[in-house]
Structure 1
Amino acid sequence: MAQQARGYDIRDTKGLNRVQAYIQLVIPLLVTTLARAEQLVMTIEARAYGNGKGRTSYRVLKYARMDYAAGGIMLAYVLLGILLER
């Protein structure tokens, strides 16, 4: 929205320029999200919430067929969205 307020519209760009424009938007969001997550981890550790008391078991999760199917459907949905947006 900030880009549009300045008169720049990503939808007007084509091809690799569009991908580059989206990357320029996603990278700062990702960096900010990771910084906030790190700050939250430090806060939780400082308050000793994650000391392990009350934990009964540890279970390692493994991918099943349903996980791969859901990932494939999601990827197809994203690609279809990108192709139909043109």
Structure 2
Amino acid sequence: MASSAKRWLPLEANPEIMNQFLWGLGLGEDEAECCDVYGLDEELLQMVPNPVLAVLFLYPITTQSEEERLQQEKEKKVS
């Protein structure tokens, strides 16, 4: 059952692991690092070091989310 479609492997959500991965790719330790964001409330966002260069949002893929994604792809092809 080989598929030609690209498949993405789940990413590790642990900032320490992501930092080691990024630094291993050549990103300088003094250039950027990952940290947890505990919520989108103003008080919780104040805990995030600035400046923020990017946000990596991880969420579980469910049957429902996959069906919605496929429906969106179909709608894009029609328009």
* Structure 1 or 2: more helix by fraction: 1
State TM-score, norm by structure 1.
Answer: 0.23
State TM-score, norm by structure 2.
Answer: 0.24
Larger radius of gyration: 1
